[in-house]
Copies of this chain bind each other. A is one copy, B any other.
Amino acid sequence: MSTPAPTPTPRRGTRKKERTRRELLVAAIDAIAAEGEAVTVLDVTRRAEVSNGTFYNYFADREALIDAVIDEVVGTFTTTMAEIVEHEDPALRFATITALLFEHAAAFPQLATVMLRLDAMRRPETWGEAPLRPLGDDLAQGALTGRFDREPSAAVVDLVTGTMLRALRRIASDEHDATAEHRSEVIALLLRGLGLDPDEAETLSAVAVAAAPDIHRAHVDRALDPVLAQAAPSTPSAPGADR
């Protein structure tokens, strides 16, 4: 039996409070993906199907919600990255990290869309400390250490983060050519720009893109907040092992 009770009760002892907060977070992610900077508290509470007043039990104000969303979303991406940081060959590590981010964006387009929009929601004065900046710096640094003779200069950061954000945008908006070939070619272009031999760049990127889905699935099963996984309606959260 175990018909889910009409009153949704996940488990005894779990305060309702926990669940409502997460529902608000998921609703906020959807709303920001759709509305961007212009999102309103009412947008969020309507999606979460709670009253306007309830919102203020969980967040001090609208700003606090935005901050919480930034933490959540950037968290899922950085966790995904940290997941495979122990790769040995720096070039392969870079390729794998990038391929994983693409995979993550394709699996959770709302999260990617929110990340991209948040990246632009800051004022010019604070662009330097934008939430995504550390992620880009880490990536560029990790891409280069120990393998290429090039230092992770500002130009390299621009090359890597700019290209990846642009490709993420394409993937998140589900354009027709956001295919595995597209991802692989993006990575190969980056590797070549960073100084890798063209042939090796092509091989490495193909390998990384091919390996990404399995790594990513394992990561999601293990580490991703199940409530956030709801934010990807197109992805069955507990599908069969195979695809």
Contact = CB atoms under 8 A, between A and B. Distances in A.
Given A113-B124, A158-B166, A163-B162, A193 B182 contact: no
A110 to B, nearest CB: 9
Interface stretch (A13-21, A77-85, A170-178, A235-243): A170-178
A128 B166 CA distance: 11
Interface stretch (A31-39, A44-52, A59-67, A225-233): A31-39
Interface string A79-106: 0000000000000000000000000000
Given A37-B36, A124-B113, A182-B153, A159 B193 contact: yes
Contacts of A172: 124
Contacts of A190: 159, 193
Interface stretch (A3-11, A68-76, A115-123, A212-220): A115-123
Interface residues of A, number: 48
Interface in A182-196: 182, 185-186, 189-190, 192-195
A56 interface: no
Interface of A: 33-38, 113, 116-117, 119-121, 123-125, 127-128, 153-159, 161-167, 169-170, 172-173, 175, 177-178, 182, 185-186, 189-190, 192-195, 198
Contact of A158 (B154, B156, B167): B167
Contacts of A169: 127
For this chain, the copies found in one complex come to 2
Given A162-B162, A192-B192, 19 more contacts: A34-B124, A35-B123, A36-B121, A38-B38, A117-B120, A124-B172, A125-B173, A153-B177, A154-B177, A155-B167, A155-B185, A155-B189, A156-B185, A156-B189, A158-B163, A158-B186, A159-B189, A165-B166, A192-B193
